[in-house]
Chain A
């Protein structure tokens, strides 16, 4: 047995889970799919006194429609459920596409959407995607329920806005309208590896196929997903400029410098390539 001993609880419902979290505070860790936490326990990098196993809470695996075509997705939905689109994906294919690239099927069968968000590994996919989509995270505790924008929830390197007594119960994912296209690029040397660079672009189009707005986020950073405001502006200015590699790379460099994420030339190059490919994919359908 590799983990240190712990007190194990498998609550029957969310209220019982939040009661345990209120009682044990930061002595407790939440075990969802365990695909990050169990290796940490095996290495004894984490040694919680209490483990609250939420894998039996069926209510966290439900999904239902919300306003404007979006969906409320239970936090314990697995990556596989999203990959197989057992969730009525509101994004026109982005969520299944991203899920398919997370680790391997045997990991995706266990790992969960909410677990990935609450773990906030800077290299993980869901924090990036949920920030870019403008998703909201619902947190519940004995004190009540509150909603936080994903971009505010994910605060930094393995750091979130979740208080010790709170459980992430669901994520509200807005729909991607028909007027929008997306592009996603993850660069990794092997199938299933964590990303070396990762970007997602969402482009809104007007009726005559000109770009109206661009949302561009970069993942696989040192801290947290980064919105690339300058590069978005370059992209809005026109498809022609999108294809000017130097212009884009310079904008990405300035955006990264703004948030102290510049890193060495290789990292910047990888980020730029991911951004360019995401933008190209998002424009491919509209621009032959």
Chain B
């Protein structure tokens, strides 16, 4: 039987800060962020890639941190909801507040990260398109109408 790998030393960038940690190979990126780095803005819902709450940006692309190994992110540039910056983000924060896009807030970090990517790719111009793009993010309060309206409003505000 092959012995499991002892802890692995990884270095990566998280919210523009260099981070180094010695971690088990089986640690997910989500657990690294939450348990080792105290970045608890990233939420864990299903832990098997179905709910979207743990979505973060890796090298500018949204991915699910619960089904990504932290060791596989060595050398990558990770941005969590705490580190989101830019005009799309400002517009989304305002629109989520204005349109009541937040109820309990559990899905909100994943929603925001996903929505930033939607706007940056120039998607989400219509109600249907927003709903399709947000298909992988669940809101168990079912507050989708407010969230969809917020994305449309933020898109209009940044002149997508």
Chain A's interface: helix, strand, loop or mixed, by majority? loop
A112 to chain B, nearest CB (A): 13
| Top 7 A-B pairs, shortest CB-CB distance | A104-B136, A191-B135, A5-B4, A8-B25, A38-B67, A39-B48, A109-B61
Q: Which residue of A has the minimal Cβ distance to B74?
A: A10
Q: Does B133 contact A (CB under 8 A)?
A: yes
B2 to chain A, nearest CB (A): 4
Contact size range, B: 35 or more
Query: Known: A5-B24, A6-B26. Contact between A35 and B67, CB under 8 A?
Result: yes
Q: How far is the CA of A188 from the CA of B148 in the complex (A)?
A: 22
Q: Does A190 contact B (CB under 8 A)?
A: yes
The digit string for A1-20, where 1 denotes a CB below 8 A from any CB of B, is 11111111010000000000
Query: Known: A4-B26, A6-B5, A191-B131. Contact between A106 and B62, CB under 8 A?
Result: yes
The digit string for A34-66, where 1 denotes a CB below 8 A from any CB of B, is 110011011100000111010100000000000
A7 touching B3, Cβ below 8 Å: yes
Query: Known: A190-B135, A191-B131. Contact between A50 and B67, CB under 8 A?
Result: no
Q: Which residues of chain A from 182 to 209 have any CB-CB distance to chain B below 8 Å in the complex?
A: 190-192
Q: Which of B8, B26, B47, B61 has a CB less than 8 Å from the CB of A5?
A: B26
B27: chain A residues at CB < 8 Å are 1
B55: chain A residues at CB < 8 Å are 106
Q: Does B43 contact A (CB under 8 A)?
A: no
Residue numbers of A with Cβ under 8 A of B are 1-8, 10, 24, 27, 31, 34-35, 38-39, 41-43, 49-51, 53, 55, 80, 103-107, 109-110, 190-192
B49 touching A38, Cβ below 8 Å: yes
Residue with the greatest number of chain A CB neighbours at <10 A, chosen from B31, B52, B61: B61
Q: Which residue of B has the minimal Cβ distance to A51?
A: B25
B72 touching A1, Cβ below 8 Å: no
Q: Does B14 contact A (CB under 8 A)?
A: no
What are 29 A-B contacts defined by CB distance under 8 Å?
A1-B24, A1-B26, A1-B28, A1-B31, A7-B25, A8-B26, A8-B69, A24-B2, A38-B28, A38-B67, A39-B67, A42-B67, A43-B48, A53-B69, A53-B71, A104-B135, A104-B137, A105-B114, A106-B62, A106-B63, A106-B64, A109-B61, A110-B63, A110-B67, A110-B68, A190-B135, A191-B132, A191-B135, A191-B136
B149 to chain A, nearest CB (A): 18
B68 touching A2, Cβ below 8 Å: no
B68: chain A residues at CB < 8 Å are 34, 38, 110
Query: Known: A42-B66, A42-B67. Contact between A105 and B117, CB under 8 A?
Result: yes
B61 touching A80, Cβ below 8 Å: yes
Query: Known: A39-B67, A53-B72. Contact between A105 and B2, CB under 8 A?
Result: no
B64: chain A residues at CB < 8 Å are 35, 106-107, 110
A27 touching B2, Cβ below 8 Å: yes
A4: chain B residues at CB < 8 Å are 26
Residue with the greatest number of chain B CB neighbours at <10 A, chosen from A4, A35, A190: A35
B49 touching A2, Cβ below 8 Å: no
Q: How far is the CA of A190 from the CA of B137 in the complex (A)?
A: 12
